[in-house]
Amino acid sequence: MKTEQKQTIEAELQQKKDLKAKHPGILSIRELIESDIPPIEYLIDDFLMKGGLTYVVGPSASFKTGILLEAVLCGAAKKKFLDTPIKKPFKTLWIDEENRAVNLKNRVTQLIAGNPDLKIDDLDNKVFFSITKGFQFVSAHINILTELIHDFEPDLVVIDSIARCLPGSERDEKDVNKILQYIKPLMNKRNVSFAIIHHTRKDSAEHLDDVAGSRDFGAMADDVFLVKQVKKTKDYKRFRLKSVKARNSIGNKDINFKVSGKDKLNVDYVGTTSESVHKDKQKFIDCKDEIKTWIEAQPDITEYKTKDFLKAFEKKYGERNVFRALGYLKKEKVLKCPKKGTYEVVC
């Protein structure tokens, strides 16, 4: 190597060393990529990031506490949560300033009774509760929280709800920023995940801007999920868990689940929104095809009443799908409707 080239390389290396000394902590792109920073992990894939901050937000009575409790219980027992397998069991410290002990006991008991995969022996010493102890995001209480994390070694800390634990105003950016200032050292040093329950501005839960208070709630989080009731029947309630922020991915799928029972609360995965739309469409198509086959199997009958179709197909497909199917059979000129409540077979 020529002397001039060698001198140039040495000068560049020295310049890099000088910059590193002057600005410690600054990484080049190569240093960042080749660093020993561990990869992103999840306690529950695409839901609870390990060492991250997740907000679960919804209107009143939207089952936001319930669905997070279900996640915690499944996580402790290493059982599937809403169709997502738990790779490794995790411990939780649940700080509750929203519910009384009697309400929390009732809800936990209902969820365990409703999920045959959950056994109390699998949960003991993996889920701990601090109930109405007056926890606030102030330095003295954060010191107590730090001791609790040291002694119980949880993987996840749940705060229910932020409205009860924030001493300032949820609309004030400075007050909201204190949340991250207090928990970030715990997230970084102990790799503890935080999940915080919050409410929406109104009954709707569709967008990140629907999160009540300062926009810094959404800005500080790794993931934000909105929970909303989308259907209610006499037998069950159906909810949607919608991802409105996913810092480490393009975006997660919206998950639909239903809750049924009383003494035993069954939380059942229904599917993603796109899966549900496809399933509903397929159900209507199947209903239409089955009605057509049924008609063809009875060539001597040329006239039907609406109640005939409902009696034969409502239980299997639902009233809505039966009427949709009849509407399409009219368009396909299989049936005609000369008067309300009467259908004639087109020859």
Which tens digit of pLDDT belongs to each residue from 292-325?
A: 999 999 989 999 999 999 999 999 999 999 999 9
Yes or no: say if 149 and 183 are a contact pair by the CB < 8 Å rule.
no
Yes or no: say if 72 and 114 are a contact pair by the CB < 8 Å rule.
no
Q: Residue 284 — pLDDT band, cuts 50, 70, 90?
A: confident
Q: Residue 105 — pLDDT band, cuts 50, 70, 90?
A: very high
32 backbone dihedrals φ, ψ, rounded to 5°: -65, -50
Lowest-pLDDT range, 179-193, 195-209, 256-270? 195-209
pTM: 0.78
Assign domain 278-345 one CATH number from 3.40.50, 1.10.287, 1.10.10, 2.60.120.
Answer: 1.10.10
Q: What percent of the chain has pLDDT over 70?
A: 97
Q: Averaged over 153-171, what is the pLDDT?
A: 94
Lowest-pLDDT range, 7-21, 24-38, 131-145, 289-303? 7-21
How far from each other are the two terminal CA atoms of the chain, in whole angstroms?
Answer: 94
Q: Averaged over 183-212, what is the pLDDT?
A: 89
Q: What is the mean pLDDT of the chain?
A: 90
Domain boundaries, the chain: 3-33, 42-264, 278-345
| pLDDT score of 136 more than 90 | yes
> Which pLDDT score, from 0 to 100, does residue 49 have?
94
Which tens digit of pLDDT belongs to each residue from 250-260?
A: 666 789 999 99
Q: Averaged over 124-143, what is the pLDDT?
A: 95
- Which residue in 136, 211, 145 sits closest to 179, CA to CA? 136
| pLDDT score of 150 more than 70 | yes
Question: Residue 194, Cβ neighbours under 10 Å: how many?
Answer: 23
The number of CA neighbours under 13 Å toward the Cβ of 321 is: 20
| pLDDT score of 1 more than 60 | no
Task: Choose between 274 and 170: higher pLDDT.
Answer: 170
Which tens digit of pLDDT belongs to each residue from 26-46?
A: 888 888 888 888 888 999 998
Lowest-pLDDT range, 275-279, 287-291, 327-331? 275-279
Question: Residue 314, Cβ neighbours under 10 Å: how many?
Answer: 16
> Which pLDDT score, from 0 to 100, does residue 56 have?
96
- CATH 3.30.2270.10 correct for 42-264: no
